[in-house]
Structure 1
Amino acid sequence: MDKLLMLLLFSVVWIMVHTLQIDEEMAMRTLFEGKHAVNRAAHAAAQQLDPLALSRGEIRIAPRAAAEAGARYLQGNLKIDETGMPLRGSKLRERAELLLFKVVDGDESFPYHYRNEAFNYEVTLQRPGVIMIVRLRNPNVFRMLEPIEWDIKGAAEVVY
């Protein structure tokens, strides 16, 4: 009887440790997918050049087109709608928030050093580019982990 009770107790502990491991792995996967999505969105936004400025020989990013391209790529990669709410098939369960979208354009002198104390983020751009910060929340399945929030940062430059 003692051995049966001990086996039952160890089984419960093993299942709890296993669910904690699964929760941690899902959190890391969500973080990595979020980072890739932010990087892709920033890159897509940074490639939206202003055709009028380009015809004058200036490399400038079209802010509106950049914001639209960045949002579109973020929505497609994270499977969220225009408001940041997850769609069917998304790994997220809560709203993704775009905290910062900054276009660093030809008005600045390069290399341009961007620093944001609020998000503890620094980046140096060698040419015009885009900086994005998105907040994601971990969709923990088993509730073994405390809720986790990430402010995922990304930056990209114009490629030419």
Structure 2
Amino acid sequence: MYKLMLIVLMMTVWVSVHFLQTDEEMAMKLLYQGKHALNRAAHAASQQLDPEAMAEGILRIDPNAAASAAAAYLQANLQLDAQGNPLPNSPVRERVNVLVFDVINDDHTFPYTYRNEQYDYEATLQRPGVVLIIHVVYPRAFTLLEPVEWDIKGVSELTVR
């Protein structure tokens, strides 16, 4: 009888550990999805040229168009509404917050080293670009564990050919 109880106890432990591992894998999948979405959004934002400056031969990113493009790409890739809240098929379960959206234009000399002490981020840009940091939360399957939260960081430069 004691062997049967030991088997049941060990199976309970094994299943619990398996669920914890699966939960961790789902969290990492969300991190990768968030990073890919952020990279796409930053790249789309960095390609939004200011047409008036372009007519003068100056490469400058239009901040309003860049913000719109970044928001559209985040919404499409993470399936969010306009306020950053998840839609029914979204991989995230909580609101995605844009913490930093900085457009680095020709008002800086390049190469330019961008530093953000608050989020411990540094990047060197060779030409105009966009820095984007979002906050993503993964609520754990086990309510005893704290949710996993990330400040996902990315940068993209204007590409010219």
- Give the TM bin, normalised by the shorter chain: over 0.9
1:6 is the counterpart of 2:19: no
Q: Helix, strand or coil: the match of 1:42?
A: helix
- Superposition TM-score, scaled by structure 1 size: 0.97
Q: Helix, strand or coil: the match of 2:37?
A: helix
Q: Indicate the residue corresponding to 2:56 in structure 1.
A: 56
TM superposition shift of 1:141: 2.3
Q: Aligned partners of 1:156, 1:145: CA distance in 2, in Å?
A: 35
Q: Indicate the residue corresponding to 2:113 in structure 1.
A: 113
CA RMSD of aligned residues (A): 1.0
Sequence identity of aligned pairs in percent? 56
1:20 is the counterpart of 2:20: yes
Q: Which amino acid aligns with 1:4?
A: L
Q: Aligned partners of 1:81, 1:145: CA distance in 2, in Å?
A: 28
Q: Which amino acid aligns with 2:30?
A: T
1:31 is the counterpart of 2:35: no
Contact 1:26 1:140 in 2 (8 A): no
Q: Indicate the residue corresponding to 2:83 in structure 1.
A: 83
Runs ≥4 in structure 1, deviation > 3 angstroms?
Answer: 142-145
Q: Aligned partners of 1:37, 1:127: CA distance in 2, in Å?
A: 22
Unpaired runs of at least 5, structure 2: none
Q: Aligned partners of 1:77, 1:104: CA distance in 2, in Å?
A: 24
Contact 1:91 1:139 in 2 (8 A): no
Q: Indicate the residue corresponding to 1:141 in structure 2.
A: 141
TM superposition shift of 1:144: 6.0
Higher RCO structure (Cα 8 Å, ≥6 apart)? 1
Q: Indicate the residue corresponding to 2:42 in structure 1.
A: 42
- Superposition TM-score, scaled by structure 2 size: 0.96
How many pairs are equivalent? 160
Unpaired runs of at least 5, structure 1: none
Contact 1:138 1:147 in 2 (8 A): yes
Q: Which amino acid aligns with 2:127?
A: R
